[in-house]
Structure 1
Amino acid sequence: MNWKSFFQNKRYRIEFVITIIILIPLLLSFSQFLLFVEQRAGVILNDPLLNSFNPIDLTWLIFALIYLSLIIFIITTFNKPERLLLALQSYGLMVIFRTIAMYITPFEPPATLLLLNDPFVQLFGEGDILTKDLFFSGHTGTLFLLFLLAENKTLKSIFLFATIIVGTAVLLQHVHYTIDVFVAPFISYTSYKIITNFHKKLSQEIRK
C-alpha cells in the first residue's frame, strides 16, 4: 500500500492522525520527564559485571550504529506507511513503559560511567548530557524494535547485530547497568506485540 492509498483509507487516515496527535505531546512530555529524572536522587546498584572491568569509551561506535540503523530503517520502510505507523505506535508505547519504569526505579548512574555524548547533538550546540535515564536502555530497546519491525531477513540480521553490539557497548562504557540492557528487548517485544495484537483485533472488528 502506497501513501496515496493509505490516506484514501478512512481507517488508516484516522489512525495516523490520532497517532501523531498522541505521539507529539508524549515525546515532549518525555523530554521534560527526563529532566525531572536527572534532578532526582537515586541509588547506585552494585553490578558484578561492571565491577569486573574498567570502562571503555565507545561513544562514536554506539551512535554510528544507532543513526545508521535508523536511516536504513526509514529508507527501506518509507514507502510502507502501514509499517511506519506500526513503528510509531510501538515506539510510543515503549516510551510510556520506559517512563513508568524510570519513575519507579530511581537509579544513579554507575560511579565509573564514561559520559555518552551524542556527536550529532553537539554539532548544534552544547546540550545537556543525560546520565540517569537508565532502566531500561532506550538505545537497546529501540534497535531491537527495529529488528522486530523489519520484514527483510537481511535487515533483521543487521538490526539484531546492531542491538547486540550497542547493548554490549553501553555496558563496556558503563553507561547502563546490566539489568537495563537485559530487560530492554523484552519491553520492546511487549510493546510491539501489544500494538500488533491491537491491529489484528481492530481488523477483525471491522470485518464483522
Structure 2
Amino acid sequence: MRSCRTTRLTSPRLGGRQPCERVASSKCMGALPKAARGLAAKTPRRRILARCVGALTFTLACYAVMTALVLWAELRQAPTLPDLMVSALPYVPWIDRVNYLAWLVAVVPILAAFFALEPERWARCVVALGLLCLARGVCIALTGFGPPNPLNAGPGLEGTDFLSAYLSLLSPAGLFFGNASHVYLSKDMFFSGHTSTSFLVLLYVWHRPPLRWAALGAHLAMVAAVALAHRHYAIDIVAAYAFAFALFAMREWQPRAPGPRAAVARRAGPIGPIPEPSSGRSGA
C-alpha cells in the first residue's frame, strides 16, 4: 500500500507557527482510486458545460427581452423612410418567406461545430450574441422606423393580443417554421439582426480557417437575403457591422501597453520649447 504524505506549510505572517495549508504529495494522488481520478478529470469538463448552459440561458433571456421591446415598438406609428437600397433592389417574395429559416440553416451549424472545437470560446460568443440582442432591443425601443416596403408589411398586432404574439415569436416553431415574424413584425427593426449575428460569429471563428470560410459564406448570404427581402433599410445593415464589431472589440481585445517611444515621452515630460537660462543680469 502506497504511503500518502502531506507537507505542512507555515505562514511567515503568523510567525511560522500556525499551519496555513496541507499539500498532498504526488504519491498520494497516485494512491487515489481510478474512480476518484476520473471524477477529478471530469470536473473541468463539467465546469465548461455549466458555463455553456449558463451562456445559452443568458442569450435566450436577452432574446426574450428584445422580443418584448420589438412588440412594444409595434404599438406606435412610424413613417416609411426613403432608402436607396430598397428602391434599387427587387423584392423577392420567396426569400422573404424563408428569411428566418435561412439564418437557422446557415449560422447554427457553424455554431455547433464551434462548440465542439472550443466550448469555452463558444460560450463567450453566445454571451456576446445575447448582449447584441439587448443592444438591438434598446435601439428599436428608442426610435421607431416604419416598414421599408409597406406593400409587403404584415398587419402587426392588429386584432391580436400582445401575449399571444409574444409567445408565438418565442416559439422556434412559430419563428422559423411558421409565419409569426411576417404577421406580427411590420416595422423596421434597427439594426439588422441577420447581419450583426452572422458577422459576430464570423469574428469569433476567424482564427479557424475552415469555419472562417463557412461563416463568411453564411454572412454574405444573410446580407443578400436581408437586402432582397426588403426587411431592412440600408442603414440597418451598415449599423449592424458597427455594433457587432464594437461589441467584439470590447469583449475580446485587450488594451495595448504603451510602446517604448510613448514610455520615453511620458518620462521626459510634456513636449514644448526649452526656456532659456536666466543670466541674472538686467538689461541696459
Q: Which category of TM-score, normalised to the shorter sequence, fits these structures?
A: 0.7 to 0.9
- Cα shift at 1:71: 3.0
2:47, 2:91 → 1: CA distance?
53
Cα separation, partners in 2 of 1:139 and 1:115, compared to 1, 3 Å: farther
State the secondary structure of the residue aligned to 2:220: helix
Q: Percent identity?
A: 24
- Cα shift at 1:60: 5.7
Structure 2 stretches of 5 or more lacking a match? 1-40, 155-168, 256-284
1:110, 1:147 → 2: CA distance?
27
- In terms of mean alpha carbon deviation, does 157-166 or 23-32 score higher? 23-32
Are residue 193 (structure 1) and residue 262 (structure 2) matched? no
- In terms of mean alpha carbon deviation, does 48-57 or 139-148 score higher? 48-57
- Cα shift at 1:50: 1.6
Contact 2:191-2:237 within 8 A present in 1 as well: yes
Tell me the residue number matched to 2:219: 163
Cα separation, partners in 2 of 1:26 and 1:184, compared to 1, 3 Å: same
- Cα shift at 1:138: 0.4
Structure 1 stretches of 5 or more lacking a match? 202-208
TM-score, normalisation: structure 1: 0.76
Tell me the residue number matched to 1:135: 190
Q: 1:111 aligns with which of 126, 149, 154?
A: 149
1:159-198, Cα deviation, whole Å (9 max, x unpaired): 222222221222222111011112112211111222224x
Which aligned pairs between 1:68-79 and structure 2 lie closer than 5 A? 68-79=105-116
- Cα shift at 1:99: 1.6
Counterpart of 2:81, as a letter, is L
Q: 2:126 aligns with which of 88, 105, 110?
A: 88
Counterpart of 1:73, as a letter, is I
Which structure has greater helix proportion?
A: 1
Q: 2:96 aligns with which of 53, 59, 69?
A: 59
Tell me the residue number matched to 2:228: 172
1:119-159, Cα deviation, whole Å (9 max, x unpaired): 95378655353232521000111111111121421221222
Counterpart of 2:232, as a letter, is H
- Which structure would you say has the larger RCO, counting Cα contacts within 8 Å and 6 or more residues apart? 1
Tell me the residue number matched to 1:183: 239
- In terms of mean alpha carbon deviation, does 173-182 or 51-60 score higher? 51-60
Contact 2:66-2:136 within 8 A present in 1 as well: no
2:111, 2:58 → 1: CA distance?
21
1:124, 1:60 → 2: CA distance?
10
Q: 2:203 aligns with which of 148, 155, 170?
A: 148
1:24, 1:107 → 2: CA distance?
25
Are residue 121 (structure 1) and residue 174 (structure 2) matched? yes
Counterpart of 1:141, as a letter, is S
1:26, 1:123 → 2: CA distance?
18
1:94, 1:123 → 2: CA distance?
20
Counterpart of 2:239, as a letter, is V
State the secondary structure of the residue aligned to 1:78: helix
2:241, 2:42 → 1: CA distance?
30
Counterpart of 2:123, as a letter, is L
Higher Cα radius of gyration: 2
Tell me the residue number matched to 1:206: none
Cα RMSD after superposing both structures: 3.3
